Structure formats: structure tokens, C-alpha cells
Structure 1
Amino acid sequence: MLFKRKKGIDPMKVDTVIGEGTHIEGKIVSQASMHVHGETEGTIEGVGQIYVGEKGIVHSEVMAQDAFVAGKVDGNVKTKGKLTIHSTGTLSGDTISQSFSIEEGGIFLGTSQMGGREDGAERSSQTSTQEAGKSKTSEK
């Protein structure tokens, strides 16, 4: 057979790249991981990881297994696993994640809920502003 059907999609394999200079509007759904180096507006849903590169600009709601922000995200981010804001990254929006880390220099403007469980219970909720390693946090 010339074309063989894939047995399954590996959600950790990057199969979608939105390149620099590309602008996409609407809903993006991926069964694997995605890199964003261009600009998006709308909703991004990924089964795997979503990585926003240093030149990536995301005006979208993001839902993924894990998310890594090295560029700019203006919208809410929900992960089943971890969310990492790198030193060059900015997240302006709320987040719900099992694990959340911000490298020194990373910027987070919003509220975070960490450790949420399937039953909807959550371990902590914080409102944070972090920039260049200095943070202000208030417990709710």
C-alpha cells in the first residue's frame, strides 16, 4: 500500500507550527503538540503541549496538557498539567493548572488556580502580578 493509516497520534509530537509572519483567526484544535511563532486570535485547544515562542503573540483562550509561554499570551490558559512562563514571556489572563512556574523576568497579570481536581475542588487560588522576579500575591 502506498499510503498507510497512522495507528494513533502522539500528543507530545509537534505536528503543528504557526510560523512567524502568520496570522490565524478562529478556533484551532490539535490532537498533538503545537508551536506558535506567529499570531493567533480565537481559541487554541491541544491534546499535547502548546509552546508560544518569543515572537509568538496569542490573543486566545488556550487549553492544553501543558503550556509554555516565551512570547505574549493575552487570554486565559487552562492546562491539565503544567504552565511555565519563561523569562521572556508575558501572560495577561487567568490560569487553572496543576503546576505553575514563572522564571525570573517572566510577567503574569491575572489570577491562578493550582491543583484543581477532576471534581472541581481546588487547592489554592491566588491573584498575582509578577515582573522581573518581583511578585505581589494575595490569597483568596
Structure 2
Amino acid sequence: MARVPSPPSTAAAAQTRAPARAEVSDRRTLVVGKGISLQGTVTEAERLIIEGTMESQLLQAQELVISHSGVFKGEVQVEDAEIAGVFDGTLTANGSLTIRATGRVIGTARSRRLSVEDGGQLSGKMEMITEAPSATTAPRLAPSATPAPRSAEPADA
């Protein structure tokens, strides 16, 4: 009875491709699947994808994606956010916030860049994150905004 070994090239190719795939998907990603409900604090996640329901007091991640079936309630601080479902709470996106056509943001949203597709909804308070004025700008503006002191006025002769 002869055994037919599996071709070594297939096994070697699979081992060679595995590290390349690991590098591409090396980001720490948490997926809350459709029909799943999660409550609590998430730490160390770089990317959070919500297809179900999640409630969190404070969530920090690089990227937040809420799919059309996803619901998030609570507070989140991320670099970028894409909302196609429902976000209810306080959202701070230090980079960009994209509200898709099916997306709905309720509460307070802060972002540096905002994009809302036709049909997307934003109900509540929106704050744009801007750069703080530099220290050199403030002194130049201060003298022009204040009236000249009375001692500088010419005396009548």
C-alpha cells in the first residue's frame, strides 16, 4: 500500500504566505458581530467593527466602524470613525468622521474633518476640532483690539 504524500510545494507556499498575511492584518481588531450585544470597556483595540450592539463608558481605538446594522451607545475617542448604523453618545474623532447615508449620530460629535453622505443624520451638538492659535499670533492681535491709553493722546495747547 503506497502512501501519496502531499506536494511539498503547497505546504511550503502556505507557510510562506502566512507571514505576509499576518503583517497585513496585524492590526488588533475587535468585531462585534450581528446579533451580538456587548457591554463594557475595550482596551488595546486598534480597530473596532460593530455589526451588533455595544455599550461602553469610554472606548479608545484608532478606528471605529459601525455597520448599517450596528448600534453603539456611550463615549468613544478614535482617530477615524465611519458610521453607517447608529451612534448614541459622545464621539471624538481626532481625524475624520464619516456619516454614511444610513448612518445616524445622536448626541455630541467632535471631529477635525466631517463628511455626511446624502441621507446621513446628525442630531445634537457638533464641534469641529481646530488647531489652537499659536502663541505668536495672540500678542499681535492684542494691541489692535485694545484702545490706546489716554496718556498717549496729544494735549491741547
- TM-score normalised by the chain length of structure 2: 0.63
Report runs of 4+ in structure 1 exceeding 4 Å deviation. none
CA RMSD of aligned residues (A): 2.5
Instruction: Classify 1:118/1:26 alpha carbon distance in 2 versus 1 (closer, same or farther; 3 Å).
Output: farther
What 5-or-longer segments of structure 1 have no aligned partner?
1-8, 120-140
Q: CA deviation at 1:51?
A: 0.1
Once structures 1 and 2 are overlaid, which stretch shifts more, 24-33 or 83-92? 24-33
Q: In the alignment, which residue of structure 2 is the partner of 1:35?
A: 49
Unpaired segments of 5 or more residues in structure 2? 1-22, 134-157
Partner of 1:100: 114
Q: Which SS does the other structure have where 1:80 is aligned? A: strand
Distance in 2, Cα, partners of 1:118 & 1:33:
28
Q: CA offset at residue 44 of structure 1?
A: 4.9
- What is the alpha-carbon distance in structure 1 between the residues aligned to residue 132 and residue 29 of structure 2? 28
Partners of 2:74 and 2:55 in 1: CA distance: 5
Q: Deviations over 1:64-106 (max 9, x none)?
A: 1101100011111101100010000000011111011111000
Paired residues of 2:40 and 2:55 also in contact (CA < 8 A): yes
Q: 1:52 maps to what in 2?
A: 66
- Judging by fraction of residues, say which structure has more helix: 2
1:115 Cα deviation after fit: 2.9
2:151 paired residue number = none
Tell me which residue corresponds to 2:13.
none
TM-score by length of 1: 0.70
1:19 corresponds to which of 30, 33, 37 = 33
- Tell me by how many angstroms 1:37 deviates: 0.4
Aligned residues: 111
Q: Structure 2 matches for 1:1-140, cutoff 5 A?
A: 13=27, 15-117=29-131
* Paired residue secondary structure (2:40): strand
Q: 1:29 to 1:68 in 2, by over 3 A?
A: same
- Higher RCO, 1 or 2 (CA under 8 Å, sep at least 6)? 1
Of the two, which has the highest radius of gyration? 2
State the 1:117 CA deviation.
3.3
Q: Matched residues, percent identical? A: 26
